[in-house]
Structure 1
Amino acid sequence: MTDPELEVKNAYVQPVFTTGDKIKRLIWQITWLVLCRYTPAPLYFWRNFILRLFGARLGKKNHIYPSCKIWAPWLLETDDHAAIGPGAEVYNPGGVYLGKHAILSQDSYLCGATHDYDSANFTYIKREIRVEAYAWICAKAIVLPGIHCKTGSVLAAGAVLSKNMEEWTIYGGNPAVKLKIRVNFT
């Protein structure tokens, strides 16, 4: 019988991200800091242009604020009129999709990766997050990896979402639970 701590110590763990990936993200972070971070809020077209240069697939007239953080723009896709508010963070190693009129309010956090805590190597796991049309992630709310926020769903302020949301339904709390049905205005 072997000691589990010794197995972990001796296990070879491949790096999750290559040196090339790290350099690409560093260039992205410097570019955002220099060209976007301190721009006036109404200059959405400029920030959208820079995001597209880095591979983001954006719809028309997105409102992406200068103080938001986007980990990998090349893994971001939006439809028309999506919004990423002030201080919102998009950690998207598994990709993030924002539908038409989807909103990430101030200081919300989309967390697209985790680790397998049952693995001796603490294996890195990345999952796509989908926020469909008219869905709203309110201020300081957290969406965990692999979650699907369906059309018209709302995650209340400060809530933590670990399960998919149903269409036109409002969720809140930690962990988030269904609170009530929202009016479907489409």
Structure 2
Amino acid sequence: MKFREAVKRITRRIGIYKQAAGLFRWILFWSVLFRQVPRNFNLYLYNHWVTGIPIYLLRLLWARHILGVTVGKGSFLHMHVRFYGNVVIGEDTVIGRNVVFSGETTIGNHCSITADTCFVAASHDKDSEDFRGTYAPIHIDDYAWIGMRAMLLPGVHVYTGGCSGLSL
């Protein structure tokens, strides 16, 4: 009961319309509820259901508050962007459709990540006897452009103003 009363007080103080207040209450309620749900289930819900919803604000709120993805001011996530790891996205960056983040990835400010790009921060060591897994984060500096269908593999670092139109 205390949570509902607090939300009502906040929405009254803000002075927004009744419909917007209802939506705000609904988002707050579900964000608190889904924080208690295991991360894998939240990833499943986002990657298979929420990412296909054509309402940008809903996708952004879910990615930020439920999945914990850091999305900078002015950045845009197109539909069908999937997250399978820790991702940090800088300011004024555009992430195109069907981009997949698998593993730890950091993207700087004012970048353009074009459609169907894959960020894969884990792989296997082909020279190892037991085919041991390897891992290295992917880092993209400011003002970089990643072309369509590029695949960035573990440890890739795209420097300031860099351009990638092929698999690295």
TM above 0.5: yes
The CA deviation string for residues 133-170 of structure 1, in whole angstroms up to 9 with x for no partner, is 110111011111111101111112xx111xxxxxxxxx
Q: Does 1:52 align with 2:64?
A: yes
2:7 matched residue in structure 1: none
One-letter amino acid of the counterpart of residue 33, structure 1 = H
Q: Does 1:108 align with 2:117?
A: yes
2:160 matched residue in structure 1: 151
2:51 matched residue in structure 1: 37
Q: CA RMSD in A?
A: 1.6
Q: CA deviation at 1:69?
A: 1.6
Q: Does 1:142 align with 2:154?
A: no
Structure-1 separation of matches of 2:52 and 2:78: 10
Identity in percent: 24
Structure-2 separation of matches of 1:61 and 1:113: 29
Structure with the bigger percentage of helix: 2
2:106 matched residue in structure 1: 97
Q: 1:25 aligns with which of 5, 23, 40?
A: 40
Q: Matches of residues 115-126 of structure 1 in structure 2 within 5 Å?
A: 115-126=124-135
Q: CA deviation at 1:77?
A: 0.6
The CA deviation string for residues 35-80 of structure 1, in whole angstroms up to 9 with x for no partner, is x22221xx333222111121112211221112122112xx111111
1:160 matched residue in structure 2: 167
Structure-2 separation of matches of 1:122 and 1:76: 26
- Partner secondary structure for residue 37 of structure 1: helix
Structure-2 separation of matches of 1:111 and 1:138: 16
Query: Any gaps of 5 or more consecutive residues in structure 1?
Result: 1-22, 162-186
Equivalenced residues, count: 130
Runs of 4+ in 1 over 3 A off after TM superposition: none
Query: Any gaps of 5 or more consecutive residues in structure 2?
Result: 1-37
Structure-2 separation of matches of 1:128 and 1:98: 11
The CA deviation string for residues 5-37 of structure 1, in whole angstroms up to 9 with x for no partner, is xxxxxxxxxxxxxxxxxx632431123433x22
2:78–2:97 contact (8 Å) kept in structure 1: yes
